[in-house]
A and B are shown apart, each in its own frame.
Chain A
Amino acid sequence: MARRSNENSSTLIQYRALQDQSILRMFILPTIILLIVINVFPLFYSLILSFSNFTAKFPLVWGKNPRFLGIENYIRLINDPDIWHRFVTTAKYVVLSVGGEMILGFAFALLLQIKFKGREIITTLLVLPMTMSPVIVGLMWKLFYDPNWGMFNYLLGLGKIDWATDLKYNLYASAIADIWMWTPFVMLLALAGLGAVPQYLYEAAEVDRASWWYKFSRITLPMVWPLLLIALIFRTMEAFKVFDVTMGISGRGASAPALLSISLYDTAFVTWKTGIGSALGYIVLIIIIAITNIFVKYLNKAKQ
Chain B
Amino acid sequence: MAAVNKRRVSIGRIIVIILICVITFVYLVPFLFVIDTSLKPWNVIKDWPPKIIFKPTIAPYIRIFTARTVYPANNKPTEAEIAKMKWYEKLTYKESGEQIVRVGDLPKRYLNSLIITLASVALTIIMATFAAYGFSRFKIRGKDDLMFFILSTRMLPPVIVLIPVFLMFRKLALTDTHIGLILLYTAFNLSFAVWVLKGFIDEIPIEYEEAAMVDGYTRFQVFRKIVVPQAMTGIAATAVFCFIFAWNEYAFAFILTKSIAQTVPAWLPYQMGVLGYDWGAAAAGSVLFIIPALIFTIFLRKNLVRGITFGAIRK
Question: What residues make up the interface of A, taking CB atoms closer than 8 Å to B?
Answer: 9, 12-13, 16, 19-20, 23-24, 26-28, 30-32, 34-35, 37-43, 45-46, 49, 56, 60, 108, 111-112, 114, 116, 120, 122-129, 131-136, 138-141, 143-144, 146, 148-152, 154-155, 180, 185, 188-189, 191-192, 195-196, 227, 230, 234, 237, 240-241, 243-244, 247-248, 251, 261, 264-265, 268-269, 274, 277-278, 281-282, 284-285, 288, 292
- A124's partner among B170, B190, B297 (CB-CB below 8 A) is B297
List residues of chain A with CB within 8 A of the CB of B49: 154
Q: Do A31 and B131 touch (CB < 8 A)?
A: yes
In the complex, how many angstroms separate the beta carbon of B266 from the nearest chain A beta carbon?
Answer: 8
Cα distance, A243 to B296, chains bound together (Å): 25
Contact A30 B294 (CB under 8 A): no
B107 interface contact, C-beta 8 A = no
Partner of B159, one of A151, A188, A284: A284
- Complex partner residue of A151 from B29, B210, B251, CB under 8 angstroms: B29
Measured CB to CB, the nearest residue on chain A to B185 is A38
Cα separation A187 to B149 with both chains bound (whole Å): 29
A141 touches B30 (CB 8 A): yes
User: Which residues from chain B contact A196 at a C-beta distance below 8 Å?
Assistant: 315
Instruction: Determine how close the nearest CB of chain A comes to the CB of B34; give it in whole angstroms.
Output: 5
Instruction: Label chain A's interface by main secondary structure.
Output: helix
Of the residues B21, B127, B289, contact of A133 by C-beta under 8 Å: B289
Closest CB in chain A relative to B293 CB, distance in Å: 5
Cα–Cα distance between A248 and B210 once the two chains are bound (Å): 53
Shortest CB distance A35–B (Å): 5
Chain A residue with the shortest CB-CB distance to B161: A42
Question: Does B20 lie within 8 Å of A192, measured CB to CB?
Answer: no
Interface majority SS (helix, strand, loop, mixed), chain B: helix
B88: Cβ under 8 A from any A Cβ: no
- The CA-CA distance from A225 to B8 in the complex, in Å, is 31
- Is the CB–CB distance between B248 and A31 below 8 Å? no
Q: Type the 1/0 row for B284-315, where 1 means its CB is closer than 8 Å to any CB of A.
A: 00100110011011100100110011001101
Pick from A20, A56, A125, A288: contact of B167, CB below 8 A: A56
B184 at interface, CB cutoff 8 A: yes
- Residue of B whose beta carbon sits closest to that of A9: B214
Closest to B14 in A: A116
Q: Given known contacts A35-B149, A114-B13, A277-B163, what 11 new A-B pairs fall within 8 Å (CB)?
A: A16-B219, A24-B140, A26-B130, A46-B164, A111-B16, A122-B20, A125-B24, A133-B289, A146-B279, A148-B48, A149-B46
Minimal beta-carbon separation of A304 from chain B (angstroms)? 17
Contact between chains at A269 and B255 (CB < 8 Å) = yes
Cross-chain contact A285 with B140 (CB below 8 angstroms): no
A188 and B305 contact, Cβ closer than 8 Å, known pairs A27-B131, A136-B268: yes
Shortest beta-carbon contacts, A-B, top 8: A133-B248, A42-B164, A27-B134, A38-B187, A281-B160, A45-B164, A39-B153, A31-B131
The listed residue with most B CB atoms (<10 A of its CB), out of A114, A135, A148, A247, is A135
**Inter-subunit contact B214/A12 (CB<8 Å):** yes
By a CB distance below 8 angstroms, the chain B residues around A126 are 24, 27
